């Protein structure tokens, strides 16, 4: 900002020489004449000072008996004076400055950060219903109102921040990660207990937990329901792990009724999975012809578009690429101007054969990505016997993965009805 103000007011570069240039500098300090960029040049000094300061030097020069040479002139006053006869140029500069000030009073870009579940397009469409969109005046942007509207519309967004950076509206979002897990288990509430008597009662969707696959139980933590297995037990797919039916017994140990509830437990088991990945030994390599390309450059201002070039071609095989950028000044001053290029490239294909090292690299990378996906799902790989084999027409990675994972899935609880046989007793007397 200091450099901008200096340029607007104008400044000069001078050389001071004589009997005592140091006294000249001291008097400039005493009269509060700002100098900068002071450099010694033999028996002289070169420095910069403002145009107003330069006009105050005459009495100081007389008193110190020094000589001052004007070396360079900088700034807007000298620029205008130099081009004062070029009226069209000056009018263009003034018009450009006026347009910049005009465009700086509008929002031309809305940027979202931190959103994963809700896409930018979805959020933009919602903001548009609240009269918040690009090309709106800054004075109409109410950041606090935007924050409240987004929080009210999306329950799974726990934190929102809205700010204006240049001509960009920046909206930062923090989503509730628990909602992603809730959606996966939607419709499976836990911890709710429902009682049922022998004559019947409220049995609002009681559930069991059954094994989703074969394995050996390594850990079981039950929060509700009756556990039917223990650590170290071997189970098959579909076996009952936790029952949602709890027996109610009397003092004699007889079952007189049942309580039904949603079973809830964390049960982990050692399981096995067969891994198989196969790729061909050959692939089609694209060879682009640098002389067979078509380009179309364009500039878009709102809905108005100017283009130059052509995309018409007779290529047998081609690919289309588009590059587009929004014009901006600095980091955050976006303008309503987009420029870009659409190109069409011709190519031919030829069959190539993978070297053995490349095959191993590709299969290894695929296995690493597969392992990361399992880890993201909470599945731990304890051991693997995956090996790479190269055959005549293909290469494969195959083997067995030894995993430790959660193996529960829900199933409806069987409802049992107790039948009570009541016997009336009578006491008789005889005489």
Q: How far apart are CA 315 and CA 291, in angstroms?
A: 12
Q: Report whether pLDDT(237) > 50.
A: yes
Q: What is the pTM of this model?
A: 0.51
pLDDT band at 19 (very low <50, low <70, confident <90, very high): confident
Q: How far apart are CA 182 and CA 155, in angstroms?
A: 13
% of the chain at pLDDT higher than 90? 34
Q: How far apart are CA 154 and CA 175, in angstroms?
A: 9
Q: How high is the pLDDT of residue 368?
A: 93
What's the whole-number mean pLDDT along residues 167-175?
89
Q: How high is the pLDDT of residue 247?
A: 84
Question: What's the full length of the chain, in residues?
Answer: 431
What's the whole-number mean pLDDT along residues 107-119?
87
% of the chain at pLDDT higher than 70? 89
Q: Report whether pLDDT(64) > 50.
A: yes
Q: How high is the pLDDT of residue 183?
A: 52
What's the whole-number mean pLDDT along residues 411-424?
70
CB-count burial class (<10 Å; 0-12, 13-18, 19+) for 261: buried
Contact partners, residue 24, CB within 8 Å, separation at least 6? 16, 18, 60, 61, 64, 66
Q: How far apart are CA 211 and CA 225, in angstroms?
A: 15
Q: What is the DSSP string of 282-325?
A: EEEEEEEEEEEEEEEEEEEETTEEEEEE------SSEEEEEEEE
What's the whole-number mean pLDDT along residues 80-84?
76
Q: How high is the pLDDT of residue 188?
A: 40
The candidate with the shortest Cα–Cα distance to 145, out of 158, 164, 130, is: 130
Least confident of 88-97, 180-189, 311-320, 387-396: 180-189
Q: How high is the pLDDT of residue 331?
A: 62
48: region left, alpha or beta (phi > 0 left; psi from -120 to 50 alpha): beta
Answer yes or no: are the C-beta atoms of 101 and 333 closer than 8 Å.
no
- Please, how many CA atoms are within 13 Å of residue 202, restricted to the half-sphere of its CB? 7
Angle at 32 (CA atoms; ends 26, 37), nearest 5 degrees: 70
Q: Report whether pLDDT(394) > 60.
A: yes
Q: How high is the pLDDT of residue 257?
A: 82
CB-count burial class (<10 Å; 0-12, 13-18, 19+) for 173: buried
Q: How far apart are CA 130 and CA 126, in angstroms?
A: 7
Q: Is the dihedral of CA 23, 29, 35, 37 positive or negative?
A: positive
Q: Is 351 helix (H, G, I), strand (E, B) or coil?
A: strand
Residue 55, number of CB atoms within 10 A of its CB: 9
Provide the strand spans (E) within 354-393: 380-384, 387-390
Q: Report whether pLDDT(187) > 60.
A: no
pLDDT band at 429 (very low <50, low <70, confident <90, very high): very low
What's the whole-number mean pLDDT along residues 97-117?
85
Q: Estimate the crossing angle of helix 120-129 against helix 143-153, to 10 degrees.
A: 110
Q: Report whether pLDDT(423) > 60.
A: no
Q: Report whether pLDDT(371) > 90.
A: yes
Least confident of 171-180, 194-203, 254-263, 384-393: 194-203
Q: How high is the pLDDT of residue 185?
A: 46
CA 263 from chain center: how many Å? 37
pLDDT band at 424 (very low <50, low <70, confident <90, very high): very low
Q: Is the dihedral of CA 70, 75, 76, 79 positive or negative?
A: positive
Q: How far apart are CA 238 and CA 228, in angstroms?
A: 13
Most confident range, picked from 95-109, 180-194, 382-396: 382-396
Q: Report whether pLDDT(179) > 60.
A: no
Q: Report whether pLDDT(80) > 90.
A: no
pLDDT band at 204 (very low <50, low <70, confident <90, very high): low
Residue 73, number of CB atoms within 10 A of its CB: 16
Q: Report whether pLDDT(251) > 50.
A: yes
239, two tokens: 């076996």
Q: Report whether pLDDT(190) > 70.
A: no
pLDDT band at 345 (very low <50, low <70, confident <90, very high): very high
- Average pLDDT, whole number, for the chain? 84
Q: Is the dihedral of CA 179, 184, 188, 192 positive or negative?
A: negative
Q: How far apart are CA 156 and CA 173, in angstroms?
A: 10
Q: How high is the pLDDT of residue 425?
A: 45
Q: Report whether pLDDT(367) > 90.
A: yes
Q: Report whether pLDDT(158) > 60.
A: yes
Answer yes or no: are the C-beta atoms of 343 and 324 closer than 8 Å.
no
Q: How high is the pLDDT of residue 278?
A: 93
Could you report the per-residue pLDDT of 349-364, keeping only the tens digit for each? 998 999 989 999 999 9
Q: Report whether pLDDT(267) > 90.
A: yes
Task: Name beta bridge partners: 217.
Answer: 269
């Amino acid at each position: 900002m200091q450099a901008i103000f200096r340029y607007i007011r104008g400044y000069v570069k001078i050389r001071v020489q004589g009997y005592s240039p140091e006294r000249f500098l001291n008097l400039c300090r005493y009269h509060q004449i700002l100098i900068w960029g002071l450099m010694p040049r033999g028996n002289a000094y070169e420095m910069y000072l403002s145009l107003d300061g330069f006009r105050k030097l005459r009495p100081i020069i007389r008193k110190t008996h020094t000589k001052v040479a004007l070396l360079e002139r900088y700034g807007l006053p000298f620029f205008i004076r130099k081009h004062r006869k070029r009226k069209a140029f000056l009018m263009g500069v003034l018009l450009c400055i006026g347009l910049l000030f005009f465009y700086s009073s509008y929002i031309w870009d809305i940027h979202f950060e931190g959103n994963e579940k809700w896409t930018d397009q979805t959020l933009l469409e919602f903001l548009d219903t609240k009269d918040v969109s690009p090309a709106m005046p800054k004075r109409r942007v109410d950041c606090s109102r935007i924050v409240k509207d987004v929080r009210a519309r999306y329950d799974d967004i726990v934190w929102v921040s809205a700010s204006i950076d240049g001509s960009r509206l920046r909206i930062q979002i923090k989503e509730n990660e628990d909602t992603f897990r809730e959606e996966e288990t939607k419709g499976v509430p836990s911890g709710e207990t429902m009682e049922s008597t022998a004559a019947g009662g409220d049995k609002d969707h009681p559930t069991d937990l059954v094994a989703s696959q074969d394995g050996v139980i390594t850990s079981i933590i039950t929060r509700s329901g009756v556990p039917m297995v223990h650590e170290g037990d071997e189970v098959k797919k579909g076996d009952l792990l936790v029952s949602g039916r709890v027996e109610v017994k009397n003092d004699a140990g007889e079952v007189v009724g049942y309580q039904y509830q949603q079973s809830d437990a964390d049960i982990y088991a050692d399981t096995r999975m067969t891994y198989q990945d196969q790729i061909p030994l050959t692939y089609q390599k694209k060879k682009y012809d640098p002389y067979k390309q078509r380009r179309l450059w364009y500039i878009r201002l709102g809905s108005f578009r100017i283009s130059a070039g052509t995309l018409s071609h007779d290529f047998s095989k081609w690919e289309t690429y588009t590059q587009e950028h929004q014009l901006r000044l600095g980091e955050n001053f976006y303008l309503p101007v987009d420029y870009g290029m659409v190109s069409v490239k011709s190519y031919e294909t030829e069959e190539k054969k993978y070297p053995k090292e490349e095959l191993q690299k590709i299969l290894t990378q695929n296995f690493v990505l597969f392992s990361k996906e399992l880890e993201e799902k909470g599945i731990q790989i304890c051991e693997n016997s995956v090996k790479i084999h190269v055959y005549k027409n293909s290469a494969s990675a195959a083997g067995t993965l030894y995993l430790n994972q959660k193996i529960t899935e829900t199933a409806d609880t069987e409802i049992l009805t107790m039948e009570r046989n009541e016997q009336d007793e009578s006491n008789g007397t005889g005489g």
